[in-house]
Amino acid sequence: MINRKNLSENFFNLYGKPEEKFRIFFAPGRVNLIGEHTDYNGGYVFPCALNFGTYLLIRKTGENRIRFSSTNMEFKADIPLSELQKKQGEEWVNYPLGVIDQLRKKGVNPGGAEFLYSGDIPNGAGLSSSASIELVTAFALNALFSGNIPVIDLIKLSQKAENEFVGMNCGIMDQFAVGMGQKDSALFLNCDTLDYELVPLKLKNYRLVIANTNKRRGLTDSKYNERRSECESAVKYLSKGKQIRNLSELSLEEFKEMEIFIPDKVIRQRAMHVISENDRVLRAVPALKSGKLELFGKLMNESHDSLRNDYEVTGPELDTLVEEARKLPGVIGSRMTGAGFGGCTVNLIHKDHVESFLYELSKPYYKKTGLKADYYVADIGEGVREIL
Ligand code: GLA
């Protein structure tokens, strides 16, 4: 948890005028339980919001500029309102700038302000630190500058900010989970219609433990965008058999009959992952609802294997963490979460074995990769909000 007193001191050290109050907003990170790389294919996902995330301290100034700082990053910016539409290299401020760009397109014009961000989500770990920054910015500016934009539209515009301003072609899952998360629930979301259901996370004697590979996700954005276009190619090929808008319109049975329309083996594998992953989510949700946690864990395992073999977004670090975790007592499911290529795994573990898990997994992981893993026992929290 972030220390409010330190943050407040930090804010006044940076910006002065302790007599003028700031407001504090918070947006969580997220962990996805199952349904990976399905969102931009109009499929199903099953994420939850975490209780750690990004805090934003913000104060209106009435000046014609916005100042951006973060306790996590060295880069600071002081940008006139007339230049907010310019991208700042590859810096983190592109996330808030992208959001401001989208808010302006909706007729909300943020005036002068001072921002201080502070996050406790590990960066680049695949727990959605970027969606968290986007949503906390959108929510705070909407509140400060009387935007009256409903949260669902803040979610959509945050995704657009990332697609258009940052250049990462992400789907809607992260922003949705960060915006709509509820305590101790997972969100069963149809990414085509945006219909969703909150499913209570009844884990009985089991706990969700997130393990961070601490492998920086270097080429993630380009590889991610490449997977998206491979899925688009699959849709084109399959449309020779049946007109479809996206891969998720096909059931696994239909796909098995139609896969011959895809001449390229790799494209066929990508489609197979997406369609089989949708099928797994549709089986995992009722499994959780009816307390069949062993089945839920088995589907998590199958999800990882499909991401490794067919979608090829795992890599040696994620695969080692998963393989070694599955050997340990009490572990009934282990898979990568998020975009992949590094980042985190999520593990379903009997509570009596959590402590030994943390210890036992580190040894073989370090031996095989030379990296030190970090762990977080996931606490499922609320979506974006003001902290009063
Ligand atoms: C990233 C993206 C999401 C989603 C996942 C993979 O987190 O931001 O939209 O595609 O990868 O499931």
pLDDT in tens, 161-194: 999 999 999 999 999 999 999 999 999 999 999 9
Gap between the Cα atoms of 335 and 307, Å rounded: 9
Ligand 1, atom 1, residue with closest C-alpha: 339
Gap between the Cα atoms of 243 and 303, Å rounded: 27
**Which of the residues 39, 174, 279, 319 is marked catalytic?**
174
From the list 71, 58, 54, 66, the residue with the least C-alpha distance to 136 is 54
Measuring CA to CA, how many Å separate 141 from each of 9, 16, 81, 325? Answer: 22, 21, 14, 42
The amino acid sitting at 234 is: A
pLDDT mean for each 10 residues of the chain (388 residues): 86 96 97 98 98 97 97 97 97 97 96 97 88 98 95 98 94 98 98 98 96 80 91 97 97 97 98 98 98 98 98 97 98 97 96 96 97 94 96
Q: What pLDDT does 218 receive?
A: 63
Q: Where are the beta strands (DSSP E) in 126-230?
A: 185-190, 196-200, 206-212
From the list 150, 153, 191, 196, the residue with the least C-alpha distance to 173 is 191
Q: How far is the CA of 132 from the centre of ligand 1 (A)?
A: 13
Q: How far is the CA of 173 from the centre of ligand 1 (A)?
A: 6
In tens, the pLDDT along 47-102 reads 999 999 999 999 999 999 999 999 999 999 999 999 999 999 999 999 999 999 99
Gap between the Cα atoms of 296 and 290, Å rounded: 10
Q: Is 339 in the pocket of ligand 1 (CB under 6 A)?
A: yes
Helix, strand, coil shares of the chain, percent, nearest 5, are 45, 20, 35
Q: Is 221 a catalytic residue?
A: no
Task: Provide φ and ψ at 138, rounded to 5°.
Answer: -60, -45
Gap between the Cα atoms of 348 and 118, Å rounded: 29
Gap between the Cα atoms of 215 and 343, Å rounded: 6
Q: What pLDDT does 219 receive?
A: 57
**Residue of 31, 32, 39 with the most ligand 1 atoms within 8 Å of its CB, for mutation:** 39
Considering the domain 4-198 in this protein, what is its CATH number?
A: 3.30.230.10
Q: Where are the domains of the chain?
A: 4-198
Q: Is 174 in the pocket of ligand 1 (CB under 6 A)?
A: yes
From the list 150, 154, 116, the residue with the least C-alpha distance to 134 is 154
**Residue of 30, 31, 37, 187 with the most ligand 1 atoms within 8 Å of its CB, for mutation:** 37
Q: How far is the CA of 324 from the centre of ligand 1 (A)?
A: 25
Q: Is 171 in the pocket of ligand 1 (CB under 6 A)?
A: yes
Backbone Cα Rg of the chain: 21
| Side-chain half-sphere exposure of 291, counting CA atoms within 13 A | 2
